[in-house]
Structure 1
Amino acid sequence: MFKPAILCVDDEVAVLESLEIELQQAFNGKYLCEFAESAAEALEIIEELYEAEVKILVIVSDWLMPGIKGDELLIKIHQKYPKIVKVMLTGQADKEAIERAKNQANLHAFIQKPWQSQELIQAIKSGLANL
């Protein structure tokens, strides 16, 4: 049996590297951590993980990315996998996008960049507690 996964999506590699360090420190290898630099890559990873029978528990997504924006990505994921906990981590989401994600993707948490590690980890943990 594989470990469940947390997927982080951001077009900035430095953000993904920071998230990797924070998730490893907070969860000490309890979860498989996957990283995508675009919404398209995230959707590919999700399909691959589900084919391998790896359960994705949480998705942390940026909003402003090339191609598909974060709210659209989270809505698309929610339609197929409604139980995944969705967190938006961004510096520049408009209010309408956040509302759309809340209403159509059951957005669990919205966190502004630059973020506090403790706030992000707490949001993830509270989302996991609801599973």
Structure 2
Amino acid sequence: MPKPAILCVDDEVVVLESLEIELQKAFGNTYVGEFAESADEALEIIEELVEDKVDILVIVSDWLMPGMKGDEFFILIHKNYPQIITIMLTGQADAEAIERTISQAKLHAYLPKPWNNSELIEAIKSGLAKLSINL
């Protein structure tokens, strides 16, 4: 059975690299880390993972990205995959977008950039706990 995945979405490669390091430190090889530079790329990755029967547990996404914004992305994800835990990690989102994401996509956590690594990992762990995943 394939390892479950955590997907990170941000249009800044340096942010994705930082997230990869933090996930590796916190979880080792427990989960597969997937990384996308846009919501459209993330949707392609999600489709591939679903086809390969990989459980996507958590998505960490920026809000301000080219193409589709994070709130639209999470609302779409929630409609198709309501079990996925969503975390918004951004310095740009307005209060209205965050509220919309909470009400329409059951946003688990919002963390401003620059983020605190321990807060991010704690948000991921608390989301995983909702899924009854033992860490």
Residue 35 of structure 2 corresponds to residue 38 of structure 1 = no
The equivalent of 1:111 in structure 2 is 111
The equivalent of 1:17 in structure 2 is 17
Q: Which runs of 5+ in 2 are unaligned?
A: none
Between the aligned partners of 1:96 and 1:68, the Cα distance in structure 2 is: 16
TM, length-normalised to structure 1: 1.00
How many equivalent residue pairs?
131
> 1:29: Cα distance to partner?
1.0
TM, length-normalised to structure 2: 0.97
The equivalent of 1:80 in structure 2 is 80
> 1:116: Cα distance to partner?
0.6
The aligned amino acid for 1:78 is: H
> 1:94: Cα distance to partner?
0.4
Q: Secondary structure at the match of 1:79?
A: helix
Shift >2 Å, 4+ stretches: none
Alignment deviations for residues 28-48 of structure 1 (CA, whole Å, 9 cap, x no partner): 110000000000000000000
Identity %: 73
Alignment deviations for residues 59-88 of structure 1 (CA, whole Å, 9 cap, x no partner): 000000000000000000000000000000
Q: Which runs of 5+ in 1 are unaligned?
A: none
Question: How well do the aligned residues superpose, as a CA RMSD in angstroms?
Answer: 0.3
The equivalent of 1:122 in structure 2 is 122
Residue 70 of structure 2 corresponds to residue 70 of structure 1 = yes
